[in-house]
Amino acid sequence: MRPHTPPQPPRWYVISLRPSGGHAGLRRAAAAHGARLLALSPWRLQRLDGAAVHAALDAALGADCTIFTSPEAARAARALRPLRDGDARAWYAVGAGTAAALCRAGVRTVRAPERMDSEGLLALLAADGRDRGRIGLVTAPGGRGVLAPALQARGAQVLRADLYRREPIAPSPRALARLRDLDAPAALALSSGEALQHVLQSLSDSDARTLRGAWVLAASERLAALARELGFERVRVAAGPRPPQLLAALPERSPDVR
């Protein structure tokens, strides 16, 4: 009979702020680094329906170009309408994950910026001469709040279709217990400033202090600056928001837990 070997602690914990049910990609990336995932979902996604939603989507899809701000926006649109190439419309995605979701939905020619955030998309639209005229924006309430005002300031008519909403949820007692009892250093994967702010507001002062002790792997300089403003001291900027990019910014050597 083999002697029992207690499980070894992970090299890192990766704290995910993705929506409920949306942690799989980050979980796989964490495992590839010998890390374990700790999910602190700030919300769940609820799709919208009804006559007004359908009319808004039809208007957005009928614009000169249509922007999708997340993979869920692409999936929700596909559930309501066919998405296909073959006309004069230009298709844009805020990042590679959203572009991939559009491709799976049937759109093969999608433009996405190398800098996968609102600022990168605005620069790409300007370079393509697509930041004016009638622009469809397929998104959610509160999502990518920089885009619409910036495009309107340039003279664009923004036709917005909100296809899902974020329903706030509190971190589970099990997740909070894991946060309090970490036996390895933690790194927070940060791709949404709104998610970070919501999670911090939902935590007790003690749990918020624990979270602020984690490293932050920020998807952009803007998010890195926000993390520092919110009290995080150990911040690294990743190459982008995709899980492998975020996890590639982990420090090479694990520091002490405390």
**pTM of the model as a whole:** 0.81
Sign for the CA dihedral angle at 169, 120, 30, 218 comes to: negative
Using the predicted structure, report yes or no on whether residue 257 has a pLDDT greater than 50: no
Backbone angles phi, psi at 20, to 5 degrees: -55, 130
Q: What is the mean pLDDT of the chain?
A: 89
Indicate the CATH number of 46-166 among 3.40.190.290, 1.25.40.10, 3.40.1110.10, 3.40.50.10090.
3.40.50.10090
Rounded distance, CA 37 to CA 22, Å?
Answer: 12
Query: Mean pLDDT, to the nearest integer, of 56-83?
Result: 94
Using the predicted structure, report yes or no on whether residue 144 has a pLDDT greater than 80: no
pLDDT band of residue 240 (cuts 50, 70, 90) is confident
Query: What's the fold here for domain 12-42+169-247?
Result: Rossmann fold (3.40.50)
Hey, what are 232's tokens?
Answer: 């995080």
The ranges of the chain annotated as CATH 3.40.50.10090 are 12-42+169-247, 46-166
Query: Mean pLDDT, to the nearest integer, of 190-198?
Result: 92
